[in-house]
Each structure stands twice: as structure tokens, then as C-alpha cells.
A and B are shown apart, each in its own frame.
Chain A
Amino acid sequence: MKDAFDIRGESHIEVHKFRVGAIIIATLLALVIQASFPIHFAKAAVLDFPLMVTIYFGLSRRNPSTGLLLGMVIGLLRDSLSGPTVPLGLYGIAGTIIGYFASSIGARLDTEHPAARFALTAAFFVAHQGLIVATRRMLLAQPEPWFNMHLFIAALFNALVSVFVFLLLDRLRKN
């Protein structure tokens, strides 16, 4: 959709609309892949498909309210699927904040270029992990390291994969 309109009264950035059910199907698919992939490909456990979906729809729809709500729903679904050792809200809070900021950044910057998507996904991945660690440390009194090399590599790997995943998700947009 090329007919751009002003979302915040200060810039003209294209807001993308998606086919009916695209967000629900993409979310479900991301959760199923996240649950199924690591069983067959152990190394794939570092990939975070639900986070990629949160970031993608946040950047594309550029509406902070829907972005944060989508992030919250995806996060809470992940909490539910993670077993009782993960309290409801751990991924939910992180997803909410990432959804909000992805939408806010999407409303200000052009995020269609693969390089921009790579950089933003890497940054959001690190931020997401940081939020989870912060929640664990501050609200659950569970000590966790803030940063390690594994996280850095995982961020780059996720960012690389997200470039291709985002291209696939672009196909769900309405022309």
C-alpha cells in the first residue's frame, strides 16, 4: 500500500495493512515453530520467532497501542507454554515493551531496508533479554547474568534470520 498517511502529525511514513487473519496465523505459526523446531534442530533453540513477529508487526503497523497489545498477547502465550516455572507476565512484560517501542520507532523511521531491520532486530533482541533478566532480578529475586557472549551471538543470528522472515511476512501485506 503506497498511499502513505500521517500517523503522528509530524511525518509521512507508510502504514501497512495486512490480510485478514494474517497476524493471528503468523503468531500461531511462530509459537508452533518455536515449540517444534528445537526438538528436531537443537541449535535452533536460539531463534526467537515470536519476538520476530512482535517486532515485525510493530514496525509495520506503526501503532504503539496495537503494537504493545500484540506484544503482550504473544508474551503471555509464551509464558503459558513455558510451564509453571515461568510465571505469567515474564515474557508478557518484555513483549509489551518491545511491541511499544517497535511501533514507536516504526512510526518515526523507515524500517523497510534489510540493514535497518537487521540492526533493529539485534537491538530489540538484546533489549528483550535485558527486560527478562531485569524482571527476574527485580520482581522475582532470581539472579541472572545481564550479558554474555552467547546472547551477543544469538542476537546477531536472530537479526540475520529475521531479515528473511520479514521478507516472508511482507507477502502478507495488502497490496
Chain B
Amino acid sequence: MVGIPSRHKSLVLLAGVIVLQILMLAVQIKRDSQGRLIRVWTVGAVSPFERAGSSGFGWFRDTWRRYFALQNTTKENEQLRRENDTLKLQISQLQGKASEAGRLAVLLNFRQAHGDVPMLGARVIGAGGGTASLTIQLDRGERDGIRKNMGVITPDGVVGKVVEAYPNAAQVLLLTDKESGVGAMLADSRIQSPVGGQGEPLLVMKYVPNDDEVNVGERVVTSGMDRIFPRDLPVGTVMEIKPGNPFKQIRIKPAANLERLEEVLVLLSLRPLETKTEAHPADARPSAPSASAPPPAAIR
């Protein structure tokens, strides 16, 4: 057997490890398997730390925002401030809890207003492992009834879709991710077209022909055609329109603040949903002619 010189051993190891990972990539693509077991273990191991980290950062942020960041100390007020420091700290903690209660009340009101749609409140405990995908992690999972492909919203609008459900956690692909999309329509004209992410803060509406009239500031809502989200949930607002070939390039600001999500609602149904607020079903019309019909509007 030919011995490998010691100085080349690490190079051989490097080559071996990379080839192994390339094979792993190939297997995942070929079999459409995503290494679920490894992901379940990793998420199971890391999510308790994420919960703790999320609480810790939340406390630190609230304290910083409401206490330290307000300290524009002047010499005249220094003594008075010092006396009030302890009280302020207590107030900041109470404010944090009050603001959380406020957010939860909004969620509860929204939930009660849509009593026919089963949904579950969940807390955001983590983001993705890097910038390669825009995902968040929720503190609820399969044990709470969450399943893959369920829609995720806030009272402000659509957030994304569950892409993986673990026993005690779930991963949500945000609407801004390049792989994301939602069946949508313009609220006023009822022109339908899927809206997708680009890996940037703004979304894009993909298949609106140049002939159709669209105005900046127009609201975009869900069309219900993706069979995930109920009709008329806010998706965003038209920010920019450019003529394109053959479709307009329409950029949309998401209605939900996807950069600051703390609590969300998961739509606990994989069946097509309709809300009480269903409006103008007869008015809805597809935007593109049949020859250039858009692909099925669904979050992938």
C-alpha cells in the first residue's frame, strides 16, 4: 500500500471531505431528501438555547431601549436620574411586558375576528443559520399541530409558510426569500398575480401585463388561489412600477414587518381556506392572457 506523506494527509482529508459533501448534495437533489434526521437532531439540540437566547436578547433590548438609550444625562438632572434609576428599570421591564401584552391582544383580536380559520399563536425564537435562506424558527411544532406547508401570518399581513415542522419547533420560510411566493391580487382592480421574494426587503409581483393599470400605493392582498392563505389578507403595498417585457416589474413593500417578528399566527389547516371577509369573488380576474398564464400561485 502506498503511504501518503504526512504533509499531504490534510490535503487528502480535505479532498475526501469535500467529495463526501458533494455526494451528499447530489443525493439530496436526486432523491429530493433533505436530511431530515440530521436537521431534527440539530434543531432539537439548538432550539432550547435559541429560546433562552431569544428571551435574553429580548430582555437586553427592552432594557437598552427603554432605559439606557434614554439617558441623555445632564449635570442638572444627574442626581434626580440616579434616584429614579431603579424605578426606571422596573418600569422598563413592565413596559416590555405591557407591549408584549398589547401585541398578544392584537393577535387575539385578529384570531377572534377570524374564528372560522383555525390558527395558533407562536413566538419567534430564532432566525436561519445564515443568509442563504430567509427563515425564522417558531417555538411551536408538530406536537402543537403545526405541519409542513401551513401558512403563517400576523395581523399586519402574510409572513410565509412552514417549511419544516419538528416536534417542538417549526421553520418558516419568509415571503422575502427567493424560493417564496403567494397567490395575490391587487385590492382595487382585483388583478391576480403571484407575489414572490427576491432575497431583499421588497417583494415582486411577477405576471401583470403592461396593459393593466397599476398605481403606486395600491394594496396587494391574498387571492386565496394558492390554497394556503384565505382571500384578502394583506400582502403589501405597491412601491415601484416599471414597464417590462412582457410583464410589468412591480415591487411591493410587505405588509408584515418581516424584519421584526416576535409573535405570529400559524394557520392550522392544509385545506383551502376562506375567511368571513371574502369579498368580490366574482370580480377577481387573472391578469395574464392564457398564452402567458403565470405558474400556479403558491408558496413553494
Contacts and interface: CB of A to CB of B under 8 A. Distances in A.
Interface of A: 8, 28, 31-42, 45-46, 48, 50, 63-65, 68-69, 72, 76-93, 96-97, 100, 103-104, 132, 135, 139-140
A92 B130 CA distance: 12
B13 A140 contact: no
A80 B21 contact: no
B177 A85 contact: yes
8 contacts: A31-B129, A36-B57, A39-B127, A48-B131, A65-B13, A82-B132, A82-B133, A83-B163
A87 B29 contact: yes
A45 B39 CA distance: 21
A32 B28 contact: no
A81 B129 contact: yes
B298 to A, nearest CB: 15
Contacts of A135: 25
B46 interface: yes
Contact of A35 (B11, B13, B50): B50
**Residue with the highest number of chain A CB atoms closer than 10 Å, among B10, B11, B49, B171:** B10
B238 to A, nearest CB: 23
Given A32-B53, A36-B126, A68-B13, A88 B135 contact: no
B49 A88 contact: no
Given A39-B127, A100-B10, A86 B132 contact: yes
A36 B52 CA distance: 9
A45 B9 CA distance: 37
A76 B128 CA distance: 13
A139 B25 contact: yes
A31 B137 CA distance: 13
Given A28-B49, A65-B9, A81-B42, A35 B259 contact: no
B53 A36 contact: yes
A35 B129 contact: yes
Question: Main secondary structure on chain A at its contact with chain B?
Answer: helix
A39 B263 CA distance: 11
Nearest to A48: B130
A8 B7 contact: yes
Interface of B: 7, 9-11, 13-14, 17-18, 21-22, 24-26, 28-29, 34-35, 38-39, 41-43, 46, 49-50, 52-54, 56-58, 61, 124-133, 135-137, 163-164, 171, 173, 177, 179, 259-262
A13 to B, nearest CB: 15
Nearest to A154: B131
Contacts of B50: 32, 35-36
Contacts of A40: 57-58, 61
B251 to A, nearest CB: 17
Given A36-B126, A39-B54, A97-B14, A83 B21 contact: no
B10 A34 contact: no
A82 B57 contact: no
B128 A82 contact: yes
Contacts of A85: 133, 135, 163, 173, 177, 179
A87 B34 contact: yes
A147 B63 CA distance: 38
A64 B35 contact: no
Contacts of A39: 54, 57, 124-127, 136, 260-262
Contact of B21 (A37, A42, A92, A103): A92
A37 B52 CA distance: 12
* A-B CB proximity, top 5 nearest: A80-B42, A81-B129, A78-B129, A64-B10, A35-B126
A80 B133 contact: no
Given A88-B28, A89-B22, A80 B39 contact: yes
Nearest to B35: A88
Contacts of B124: 39
**Residue with the highest number of chain A CB atoms closer than 10 Å, among B13, B126, B130:** B130
B128 A35 contact: yes
B40 to A, nearest CB: 9
Given A87-B34, A88-B28, A88-B34, A68 B14 contact: yes
Contacts of B164: 83-84
A89 B17 contact: no
Nearest to B52: A32
A83 B10 CA distance: 31
A45 B176 CA distance: 14
